Amino acid sequence: MKKTGILLLSLFISIFAAAQVDSPTRDTLFEQAPQGLVRFYFDDHYFLVDKDCAFKSIERVSQFVVAKNVFHGEFRDFDRNGKVILTGSYNQGVKEGQFKAYHPNGTLKWEADFSNNTPRGEWKYYYPDGKPMLIVTYDTTGGRISSFWDRIGRQRVTDGEGNYMFKMPFEFYNEYGYPFFERKGKIRNGVPVGYWTTHLVDQRNKKVLFTEEVYDKNGMLTEGYNLFLDAGYKVPLTIIPSQAFFTAERLMSKPCSFDDYSGFNSYLSDKLNSAFAASPSHKNIADEFAYKVALDSEGVPEIITLSKRLQTEDINKYLEMVIKDIPFYFPSLDEQGQPIPDTLTVSGKLSTNEVGAFTFHSIQIEREKQR
């Protein structure tokens, strides 16, 4: 885990140092704009954040229907430098007409048409130099890859037939320590077929085999195996670029902390939910918990203790086992932005439904030495 911790540190220290500031009492997530419009503040994953948060990277100017809590009419999204990165139009919260996204250099990134909230026709993607990258054709049955060009302009998929290899970033924190993954396999009739692989990719383009998959002739996954977890799965990673702007429609907000922005708190929730999926059921529980983690300067936990116990003792025993298996936390930083040892308090809530299914949620992290 030491190597993974070092990889993660190199990726986050600069932005983490700039962003760890005290949050205001009440966040300003949106404000009135001229001509009856509203200005919304998002991070680059399209979660609402305070307008003064260091993670704010997108501003949207749009009409907004308060009664329905939805966007309406034409909108424009701007980056930190005031450049337009996305345009489109809603009709009472429903995507209609042409949407266009732009690279930071101003060139067209992708363009698509929507009808009643659903893509129609060709969704075209472009590289930053303006050259074509990918065309996905949508109809009533869904989307199919019809064309793909690699970075040097060679067409690898034509009329839905060919070989496909595309690298994409992980949107949020993952415990593997790699920022990218690469999908590779054959496309037939616009869908993946046969043997496919996923490699984890670091910033130096070093690759490690991550998953192996087999698809049938209809593009359905029949076998999926994660080599890191030594386990099978049924839901594959995407093979086309994901679009974060859909998240804006849910109007979900995040606190201004790196643990929330990076998805680390969500990762902890998922980790706990996965671990308890096969545990004995306990019905209709609503409880809170907290534990302390003593970290070294590389984010590796040295001591973990359950400081606020749940009311059900057998759940506490299993929870202690699970949290001691979490290998890494983002370390705290000193005033110069350097990682330091610290003690973290991780708190959260647990609920179970009438059939005993567990849900861990509302995870928050407090740091003793960093504010």
Share of the chain above pLDDT 70, in %: 92
Q: Which two tokens stand for residue 266?
A: 């969500």
Share of the chain above pLDDT 90, in %: 82
Query: pLDDT at position 278, please?
Result: 67
Tens of pLDDT along 52-82? 999 999 999 999 999 999 999 999 999 999 9
- pLDDT over 50 (residue 14): no
Q: What is the mean pLDDT of residues 238-264?
A: 94
- pLDDT over 80 (residue 25): no
Confidence at 27, pLDDT banded by 50, 70, 90? confident
Query: pLDDT at position 371, please?
Result: 65
- pLDDT over 80 (residue 6): no
> If we measure between CA atoms, which residue out of 107, 83, 92, 82 comes closest to residue 62?
92
- pLDDT over 70 (residue 7): no
Q: Which CATH architecture has domain 257-367?
A: 2-Layer Sandwich (3.30)
More confident residue, 131 or 18: 131
- On whether the CB atoms of residues 75 and 89 are closer than 8 A, the answer is yes
- pLDDT over 70 (residue 9): no
Q: How far is CA 163 from its chain centroid?
A: 27
Confidence at 175, pLDDT banded by 50, 70, 90? confident
Which residue bears the tokens 């030491």? 2
- On whether the CB atoms of residues 287 and 311 are closer than 8 A, the answer is yes
By residue count, the chain amounts to 371
- On whether the CB atoms of residues 138 and 118 are closer than 8 A, the answer is yes
Domain boundaries, the chain: 160-238, 257-367
Phi-psi region of 79 (alpha: psi -120 to 50; beta: other; left: phi over 0): beta
Confidence at 220, pLDDT banded by 50, 70, 90? very high
- pLDDT over 90 (residue 329): yes
- pLDDT over 90 (residue 360): yes
Query: pLDDT at position 38, please?
Result: 97
Query: pLDDT at position 337, please?
Result: 87
Mean pLDDT for the chain?
Answer: 91
Give the Cα separation of 146 and 155 in Å (integer).
11
Query: pLDDT at position 12, please?
Result: 43
Q: What is the mean pLDDT of residues 137-145?
A: 93
Query: pLDDT at position 355, please?
Result: 83
- pLDDT over 50 (residue 24): no
Give the Cα separation of 363 and 48 in Å (integer).
18
Q: Residue 90 pairs with which residues in a beta bridge? A: 73, 95
Tens of pLDDT along 268-327? 999 999 899 866 678 888 999 999 999 999 999 999 999 999 999 999 999 999 999 999
CB proximity list for 152: less than 8 A, separation 6 or greater: none
Q: What is the mean pLDDT of residues 120-126?
A: 97
Query: pLDDT at position 357, please?
Result: 87
> Residue 296, CB half-sphere, CA atoms under 13 Å: how many?
10
Judge residue 283's burial from the number of C-beta atoms within 10 Å of its C-beta, 0-12 exposed, 13-18 middle, 19 or more buried: exposed
Q: Which two tokens stand for residue 155?
A: 């067409």
